[in-house]
Amino acid sequence: MLVLSRQSDETIIIGDNIRVTIVEVRGDKVRIGIDAPRDVAVHRQEIYDAIRKESHATRQA
């Protein structure tokens, strides 16, 4: 895992077409903005896990 320190309004580039920008840091919360092509799925971990679980359950049926 790569760990980077960033401040508000600073951006991290992933590949050629994904930008992750630190929008705001407030206390222990960090707001980020993600700019990615429409064909790249971007989910919070808990949503991703739910999608995978449902997909797995559907394949088992």
* Per-residue confidence (pLDDT) for residue 16, from 0 to 100: 96
* Per-residue confidence (pLDDT) for residue 58, from 0 to 100: 86
User: Do residues 30 and 22 make contact, with C-beta atoms less than 8 angstroms apart?
Assistant: yes
pLDDT digits (tens, 9 = 90+) for 51-60: 999 998 888 8
For the record, the structure tokens of 31 come out as 């707001």
- Mean pLDDT score of the chain, rounded to an integer? 95
Question: What's the CA gap between 33 and 8, in Å, rounded?
Answer: 11
> Against a cut of 0.85, is the pTM above it?
no
What's the whole-number mean pLDDT along residues 44-50?
97
pLDDT score of 50 more than 90:
yes
